[in-house]
Amino acid sequence: MAKRSILHMFDPMLNNSPFDINMALDNNFDVLMPYSNVKLDSVHALTQDAIFSRSPSGIKRTGIFIGGKDIGLAMDMMNSAKQAMVPPFEVSVLADPSGAYTTAAALVACVEKELHEKHHKALKDCKAVVFGGTGPVGIATGVIASLAGTETQLVDHMSLAAAQDTAKEYNRRCKSNLSGAIASTDAEKIALLEDVDIIFCTAKAGIQVISPEVLAQAKQLKVAGDVNAVPPAGIAGIQMNDSGAPLNALEGAVGLGALAIGNIKYQVQHKLLKLILATDKPVYLDFREAFSEAQKLV
């Protein structure tokens, strides 16, 4: 009798994400086991409970998903799970805290495509700012862009220290080269946008971060991507379905909206979940694999 597929879902939050549960069920896992309020020091024991209870055939039908909202904690939980493996008792692990890895991967891959097709530029040729840069999607976006060679600033709307500390932490964790900035006023935003090629907007939903007046000053802008699906748009002039649509305020600049980016994000997460059951050897999937899959999809 074939072993049923099981996905153990470790989440440090009070509740597991319904989005992630729906996605896992739609990827044909037979059994989902959500764990909430999971502490880092519990991951090792939970992982070994999962791996030692199944035969080699059952191990291939077992996976671990790491959720939550804290990217740094997700990285530490992934590392703890990996250290708990005892070959040949090993299972695949996918981390996607708050959907940040797959969303950021889709955002950067979509921007990369527009840069190449509309401006004949690569990410390594560009300078970018990430508004909402100290949140999970913003951090993941900044790391992916920086590792691709983009000169990238994480922007916080309240604290320069918070932005700089976040950049420093993830440079240490990921070997990226991020810097931090603050933009709490239109004047500060205009100063930041003066010479940027890319705007990544990952700020809180339902808040317009870049007004038409501010956007009009971004004279070198080539591509702007906004993951906000709740009106008003985070970047003025970008519609949710825009996929490389011209930004009227700026000649040559194009915009990417939340639904266009979200479509790629959905496909990336779907592919990574499928990969857990498709591989004979365990895989450890994070923002790196998410970006690679997103690049293929766009």
What is the domain-level CATH number for residue 221? 3.40.50.720
CA atoms of 249 and 212, how far apart (whole Å)? 7
- Establish if 26 belongs to a structural domain: yes
CB 88 within 8 A of CB 193: no
Residues 160 and 251 in one domain: yes
CB 254 within 8 A of CB 118: yes
Residues 257 and 269 in one domain: no
Residues 159 and 215 in one domain: yes
Domain span at 256? 103-261
CA atoms of 6 and 50, how far apart (whole Å)? 9
Q: What is the pLDDT along the chain (298 residues), one digit of tens a residue?
A: 678 999 999 999 999 999 999 999 999 899 999 999 999 999 999 999 999 988 877 888 999 999 999 999 999 999 999 999 999 999 999 999 999 999 999 999 999 999 999 999 999 999 999 999 999 999 999 999 999 999 999 999 999 999 999 999 999 999 999 999 999 999 999 999 999 999 999 999 899 999 999 999 999 999 999 999 999 999 999 999 999 999 976 789 999 999 999 999 999 999 999 999 998 889 999 999 999 999 999 9
Residue 264: both structure tokens together: 């790629």
pLDDT of residue 64: 98
- Establish if 81 belongs to a structural domain: yes
- Establish if 188 belongs to a structural domain: yes
Residues 198 and 162 in one domain: yes
pTM reported for the whole predicted model: 0.96
Residues 70 and 193 in one domain: no
CB 77 within 8 A of CB 65: no
Please, which residues bridge with residue 156 across strands? 182
CB 130 within 8 A of CB 202: yes
Residue 101: both structure tokens together: 């890895």
The sign of the CA dihedral 42, 173, 99, 59 is negative
Residues 171 and 143 in one domain: yes
Residues 95 and 133 in one domain: no
pLDDT of residue 192: 96
Residues 80 and 217 in one domain: no
- Establish if 1 belongs to a structural domain: no
pLDDT of residue 1: 60
- Establish if 270 belongs to a structural domain: yes
Residues 169 and 273 in one domain: no
What is the domain-level CATH number for residue 70? 3.40.50.10280
Per the structure, the count of domains in the chain is 2
Place of tokens 């070959």: 87
DSSP 8-class letter at 37: S
Residues 172 and 185 in one domain: yes
Residues 20 and 114 in one domain: no
